Amino acid sequence: MSSCKSILILVFCILAACDPGSQGRLDKETFEAEQRRREPRRLKEGEITEAVRQQGNALAERLQRQAGESPGCCPVLSQSLQDSLSQQQIRVSCLRLDAPPSTELEQQERELLDAYQYSWEQGQPLEPNVQPLGKEAFLYTAPVSPMPAAEKPCAIWSIRLLRRQVIQHM
């Protein structure tokens, strides 16, 4: 009796495992859309740079919204936002224009900060900028929007985006 029960349970388990309804079928349109999305395509450097600019703009706006009207020139970012960005391997820092450049900055980042400081001192408008950092990353810089009382930006966002992350989001 016991062996008959065991065999019956085994047969039932095999039938349940082979049931196509339990695995669900892929929708043909969904499958084809995913296949098209994963299809290799050649991207031009200009397309990647434009994608960096769009992602950088969106991220700078998000940072500015999160910062709100916090006092001081460089707003303090919430821990949850910092954790979210580090999981995406995005490095964000706020660099003051009225302070001497930090020695921790990479050379290209320091040069961009110097250019922003010069433009700031001359009263010229500060514009977002995208620069490649070798073949692995991009540096997106944008002025920190001033508080309503301030006349002009006093800092810039420095956002380092990995090339592979940008391409995956395209």
100, part of any domain: yes
Print burial letters for 32-49: b (CB count within 10 Å at least 16), e (below 16).
Answer: eeeeeeeeeeeeeeeebb
Q: Give me the pLDDT at residue 18, please.
A: 66
25, part of any domain: no
5, part of any domain: no
37, part of any domain: no
Q: Give me the pLDDT at residue 132, please.
A: 94
State how many domains the chain has. Answer: 1
161, part of any domain: yes
- Reported as a single tens digit per residue, the pLDDT across 111-157 is 888 898 898 888 888 899 999 998 999 999 998 876 555 567 778 89
- Reported as a single tens digit per residue, the pLDDT across 76-108 is 788 888 888 888 889 998 888 877 767 778 888
101, part of any domain: yes
- Tokens (6 digits) for 1: 């009796």
User: CB of 138 within 8 A of CB of 130?
Assistant: yes
- Reported as a single tens digit per residue, the pLDDT across 4-14 is 777 878 777 77
Residue 23 clears pLDDT 70, i.e. is over it: no
Q: Alpha-carbon distance 14 to 18, whole Å?
A: 6
Q: What is the pTM of this model?
A: 0.72
Q: Give me the pLDDT at residue 97, please.
A: 80
Domain extent for 119: 43-168
- Give the contacts of 46 (CB within 8 A, at least 6 positions apart): none
Calculate what percentage of the chain has a pLDDT beyond 90. Answer: 23
Q: Alpha-carbon distance 102 to 158, whole Å?
A: 13
Residue 22 clears pLDDT 50, i.e. is over it: no
